[in-house]
Copies of this chain bind each other. A is one copy, B any other.
Amino acid sequence: MEVIYSIELMQQKSDEWVRKNKRIGFVATMGFFHEGHTHLMKEARQQNDIVITSIFVNPLQFGPHEDYDRYPRDERHDTLLAEQAGVDILFLPDVEEMYPRPMQVSMSITDRVNVLCGKSRPGHFDGVITVLTKLFNMTRPNRVYFGMKDAQQVAVVDALIRNLNFPIELIGLPTIREVDGLAKSSRNVFLSSVERDEAIWIFKSLKEARQLVVDGEKNPAIIVKEVADTITRRTSGKIDYVELLSYPHLTPVSVIEQQVIVAVAVQFEHTRLIDNLLFDASGKLIEGIK
């Protein structure tokens, strides 16, 4: 595995591969890898000639009071995991090279963002689409891989690719979970042991929600209330949101009669966890998108 720090070198390499008719799979990350990330890399490995993974903690997508400075980092461990996952290029651009001066061109997304995490993180997804546009232009992927754990991000990337006609296929892969069901996340390390035990109820409440739909419930309000009640009763976390929306448009639904997402965010003392389930009108699980 080659580690590349320079944007110019990355562009030279990707240009070469494109011209040699190599198919490039790309996994954009903020590092501190867990199985959720390596699963994306392994999937990319199977489907492409070249696999590029980037690690870039993007200041543009963090709000002023968010955890940019303390976002966990472990480049050494990440390098090992990426290598084991079969990555060809680990791309570690520098923040000064990425944003050499205030940006003259800015991008923003107005749809799919005023719900879920986007609601409490104004500008977050503007930062996401900006850095992804830059990274896509640097790595020139045929396929990009994202985890469905951040389903809103996948919906936003879908809009980005379609709206600006990037010649890229978007693949959303199922959330990877601990044995007890907790969604893997770089932020899980910030949970106390009591919170860690409570946190399993996030996924449990989502499974309950799906079961209600399987059993014939079509009213989103009832399902949302059930999820919220379970999390409130079973955890010390504070609910940021519980929402049931169409997917990927992320619009409110009055009756469940299409593909929907139930998504939650729970604030614990030192960190905030998110999770979701995607299913169709009959409650049939949708595990990923392509």
Binding site for B on A (CB under 8 A): 7, 11, 14-15, 18-21, 103-112, 129-130, 133-134, 137-138, 140, 159-160, 163-167
Cβ-defined contact, B107 with A105, below 8 A: yes
Residues of B within 8 A of A140 (CB): 167
Give A17 Cβ to nearest chain B Cβ, in Å: 10
A135 to chain B, nearest CB (A): 8
Q: What is the total number of copies of this protein in its complex? A: 2
Q: Which of A107, A129, A159, A160 has the most CB of B within 10 A?
A: A107
Cα–Cα distance between A165 and B134 once the two chains are bound (Å): 6
List 14 interface pairs A-B (beta carbons < 8 Å), by A numbering: A11-B165, A14-B167, A15-B167, A19-B19, A104-B109, A104-B163, A105-B107, A105-B109, A105-B129, A106-B108, A106-B109, A137-B164, A137-B165, A137-B167
Given known pairs A18-B18, A19-B18, A21-B19, the reply for A105 and B163 (CB within 8 Å) is yes
Closest B residue to A105 by beta carbon equals: B163
Residues of B within 8 A of A108 (CB): 105-108
Top 5 nearest A-B pairs (CB, nearest first) are A104-B111, A105-B163, A137-B165, A19-B21, A104-B159
Closest to A109 in B: B105
A159→B105 contact, CB < 8 A: yes
A163 CA / B137 CA spacing, docked (Å): 11
Contacts of A111 in B (CB 8 A): 104
Residue of B nearest to A23 (CB): B19
Q: In the docked arrangement, what's the CA distance between A222 and B163, Å?
A: 47
